[in-house]
């Protein structure tokens, strides 16, 4: 089963991590999050109950177009398009191009795992003290 790991970090923490990776000072481990949000609230907005249900429907029924997905969910195609493009930016869904310009939604993961740290890493706690 393929799992996407998601983390919560401030913008400054994400920037520092990205720069450390680019400079070769940090090698991401296999179990580290691949997607980052600045707050649990922003994560919850993107993966609301309604949007998680949408992902489940896509994974279960593999609709061949946004029109088919709209029909199956009862949501407007324009609303689905906006929602799916947001979810695509985070890697929760892939939008593939089909015949005659159709967008075909796909869910590349079976599970999304949120890594929510309660404490800063030991090095950062010492610097803050």
Q: Which CATH class is domain 3-128?
A: mainly alpha
Q: How confident is the model at residue 100 (pLDDT cuts 50, 70, 90)?
A: confident
Decide if pLDDT at 123 tops 80. no
Q: What is the reported pLDDT for 86?
A: 95
Mean pLDDT of 29-37: 92
pLDDT score of 32: 92
**Model pLDDT for residues 34-54, shown as the tens digit of each residue:** 999 999 999 999 999 999 999
pLDDT score for 121: 65
Question: Domain map of the chain by residue range?
Answer: 3-128
pTM of the model: 0.81
Reported confidence tier of residue 98, pLDDT bands at 50, 70, 90:
confident
Report the pLDDT value the prediction gives residue 118, as an integer from 0 to 100.
Answer: 81
For the chain, what is the HEC assignment?
Answer: CCEEEEEECCHHHHHHHHHHHHCCCCCCCCCCCCEEECCHHHHHHHCCHHHHHHHHHHHHHCCCCHHHHHHHHCCCHHHHHHHHHHHHHCCCCEEEECHHHCEEEECCCCEEEEECCCCCCHHHHHHHC
């Amino acid at each position: 089963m393929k799992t996407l790991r998601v983390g919560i970090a401030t913008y400054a923490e994400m920037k520092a991590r990205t720069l450390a990776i680019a400079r070769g000072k940090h090698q991401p481990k296999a179990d580290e999050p691949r997607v980052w949000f600045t707050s649990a609230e922003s994560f919850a907005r993107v993966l609301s109950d309604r949007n998680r249900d949408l992902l489940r429907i896509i994974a279960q029924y593999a609709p061949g177009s946004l029109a088919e997905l709209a029909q199956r969910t009862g949501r407007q195609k324009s609303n689905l398009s906006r929602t799916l493009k947001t979810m695509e930016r985070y890697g929760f869904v892939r939008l593939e191009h089909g015949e005659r310009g159709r967008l075909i939604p796909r869910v590349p993961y079976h599970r999304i795992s949120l890594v929510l740290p309660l404490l800063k890493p030991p090095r950062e706690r010492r610097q803050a003290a």
